[in-house]
Amino acid sequence: MRNSNLRPVYLWLWSGVILVSLMVIIGGITRLTDSGLSMSDWNLIMGSIPPTSEVEWQQAFERYQEFPQYQQINHQMQLDEFKQIYFWEYLHRLLGRMIGIVFLVPFVYFWVKGYFDRKLLKRMFILLGLGAMQGAMGWIMVKSGLVDVPYVSHYRLALHFMLAVILIGFCLWYALDLKKYSLPPDSPTVLNRLKPWFWAITVLFIIQMVYGAFTAGLDAGYLYNSFPKMGGQWLPPTFSMLEPYVANLVENPGTVQWIHRVNGTLLALAVIGFWWKAVFNSNSAWIQAVSGILLSIILAQYLLGVLTLIYKVPVTLGVLHQAVAILFWIVLLLIAHRLYKSNGQVVATW
């Protein structure tokens, strides 16, 4: 018989949202500090134990010296410097293992205790599958930088990042589905006016996240550190330097940065449009308030993006820029769930 008290499952799913978001932030630090290739081995169990003596540290450092990043870029690195980059990659992988435990152990407990019906159990297997894909993609991404060229593929980086974003979305959506929310009455006409703006925001945001990952993977943020023009022009001087022309859209750092800028501007304008429609057309105080929150987040994010660019991607600003993007995603999904899933009934909270 199914356990009718789903509050523990709800909180567990929210813990997934928080932990995967933290994983993304730590991953951003790992990327910005070029720490991702410091651990060249993947050992699921023993790899959770870092070096504990100077002999073990020296062995890890000698192992790192066998790979292109050290040989081509960091050949003057000393052991103390290696320990710093090792720390961030180790922390990133350790948190990944922790997320695996936090997902798997409660999952088994809830399953045995009868918290899942068939639909919810299927959803949990989807989450476990996404988590496994995310971990595997992380190693595939790192592996691409251990052969010949000491850089990870920006395509693999984007896929790794987007899998994390998708995992956050699924955890949050499934959690919200366990509680029914009421939405103050609004006419269908008003809601229909909001939805096109919402979908425009969603599409532009997904594009922005992908191109943010491309920008990071290609180190495009270190080029054209001025705003709004790039190299004194509206189009970067290197806009079409690759052949075939279409390759510029995904492999030319200057063009990728330009797309990230332009799409970010369109996204901000779409959020302004959504806020305007919500404030002046909706009778729902909740929609008016949350649209204002979304607007505040995107304006802060836009400013952070400009500052990150102008100051040549300092770690603090770069990571904060990424963290605010995740916050935007969470708020966007909260709005989506209210708009598309609300049944207008008030259900007692736990």
Q: What is the mean pLDDT of residues 90-101?
A: 88
Phi-psi region of 232 (alpha: psi -120 to 50; beta: other; left: phi over 0): left
**Residue 33: per-residue pLDDT:** 86
Q: Which two three-digit tokens encode residue 198?
A: 């919402």
Q: Residue range 299-328: average pLDDT?
A: 96
Model confidence at 126, pLDDT cuts 50, 70, 90, reads very high
User: Mean of the pLDDT values across residues 307-327?
Assistant: 95
- pLDDT for 112 equals 93
Tell me which residue of 16, 57, 18, 22 sits closest to 38, measured CA to CA: 57
* Per-residue pLDDT, 45: 56
Q: Is the pLDDT of residue 322 over 80?
A: yes
pLDDT at 346 over 50: no
Decide if pLDDT at 176 tops 60: yes
Lowest mean pLDDT across 112-116, 169-173, 241-245, 285-289: 285-289
Taking 60 as the threshold, does the pLDDT of residue 347 lie above it?
no
Task: Give residue-wise pLDDT tens across range 157-174.
Answer: 999 999 999 999 999 999
pLDDT at 350 over 50: no
Dist CA 262 CA 238 (whole Å): 16
**Alpha-carbon span 341 to 181, nearest angstrom:** 8
Q: What is the pTM of this model?
A: 0.89
pLDDT, one tens digit per residue, over 214-271 is 999 899 999 999 999 998 999 999 999 999 999 999 999 999 999 999 999 999 999 9
115 has a pLDDT exceeding 70: yes
Q: What is the pLDDT of residue 291?
A: 93
The Cα-based distances of 239 to 35, 47, 255 in angstroms read 30, 43, 5
As a whole number of angstroms, the longest Cα–Cα distance in the chain is: 70
CA distance 294 to 304: 15
